[in-house]
Amino acid sequence: MTIFISIYIAIIGLLFGSFFNVVGLRVPAGESIVRPPSRCGSCNHQLGAKDMVPVFSYLFSGGKCRHCGVKVSPIYPLFEAATGFLFLWTYLRFGLTGAAAIGVVLASLCVIVTVADLKYMRIPNQVLLFFTPILIVLRLVFMEAPWWHYVLGGVFGGGLILLIALVTRGGMGMGDVKLFALCGFVLGLGPTVLAFMLACLCGTVIGVVLIAFKRVQRKQPIPFGPWLALGTLIAYLYGTQIIGAYFSLIG
């Protein structure tokens, strides 16, 4: 039974991943997520069912538009696959539980935010406003610690990024502040600290690699939202174990 549920959840994740691409790319640009229907960005041909099967359409077409032959950005299958993987991993980690429900919604937010921030260097308010009440309600219904633990996580997460934004005078945006405040509320205080440390570590390592390979310039701004999202997901899935292992080492 677990295998069938896993396959089903992975397929659902792939389908949602395709939709999250649309949301992440259109909402920051002020476009409708419904109209116009998906089209090739080069020849403007409306995509059919064969062109819109998550991941597989990209692979079978060789990464090119079937109509004009122009290469399609790998961002589409990448985030479709990432969403399917995150949905599946959350189920395997928590089973069919409240924690899994929170994890799936949190992963959805993180995927959309990552797509938007990488493309536009923006985290849309519309996306945050949509997910905020859902995650707050889910967290209050499925609490694993006292309510104030989550409130402190939200205050710490948002306050820390706000302080950095003020000190660096634009090094981070208010979208990052609001995103990490929400993530902090979902995580709670301890995991929020861990999420920030992981985000800094991942962002620094990837930034150094990109500079070394001359993919970005030394002073070129790099969006931090994707790293906050990655740190949040790792902390949500394995924060308790990581924190416990750390204290066992120093104890």
Say yes or no to pLDDT of 219 above 80: no
Please count the other Cβ atoms lying within 10 Å of the Cβ belonging to residue 46. 11
Q: Distance (Å, rounded) from C-alpha 36 to C-alpha 49?
A: 15
Q: How confident is the model at residue 236 (pLDDT cuts 50, 70, 90)?
A: very high
Cα 131–146–225 angle (5° rounding)?
35
Q: Distance (Å, rounded) from C-alpha 170 to C-alpha 18?
A: 32
Nearest one of 175, 190, 103, 107 to 142, comparing CA atoms: 103
* Residue 204, token pair as written in the block: 């620094």
Q: How confident is the model at residue 147 (pLDDT cuts 50, 70, 90)?
A: very high
- The pLDDT tens digits for 68-89 are 778 888 889 999 999 999 999 9
DSSP-assigned beta bridge partners for residue 39:
46
Please count the other Cβ atoms lying within 10 Å of the Cβ belonging to residue 165. 16
Q: How confident is the model at residue 13 (pLDDT cuts 50, 70, 90)?
A: very high
Which are the contacts of 133, defined by CB distance < 8 A and separation ≥ 6?
none
Helix (H) or strand (E) holding 104: helix 98-120
The phi and psi torsions of 40 (rounded to 5 degrees) equal -70, 130
Scan for tokens 């996306």, then name that residue: 127
Scan for tokens 């696959």, then name that residue: 81
Which are the contacts of 153, defined by CB distance < 8 A and separation ≥ 6?
184, 185, 186, 187, 188, 189, 190, 191, 192
Mean pLDDT of 130-139: 97
Say yes or no to pLDDT of 181 above 70: yes
Which are the contacts of 170, defined by CB distance < 8 A and separation ≥ 6?
none
Rounded to two decimals, the pTM is: 0.94
Which runs of E-coded beta strand occur in the chain?
none
Look at residue 60 in the predicted model and tell me its pLDDT.
87
Q: Of the given ranges (36-50, 56-70, 112-126, 203-217), which has the lowest mean pLDDT?
A: 36-50
Look at residue 251 in the predicted model and tell me its pLDDT.
64
Higher pLDDT, 67 or 233: 233
Percent of the chain with pLDDT over 70: 98
Buried b (16+ CB within 10 A) or exposed e, 108-134: bbbbbbbbbbbbeebbbeebbeebeee
* 165 half-sphere exposure, CB direction, 13 A CA radius: 17
Say yes or no to pLDDT of 248 above 90: no
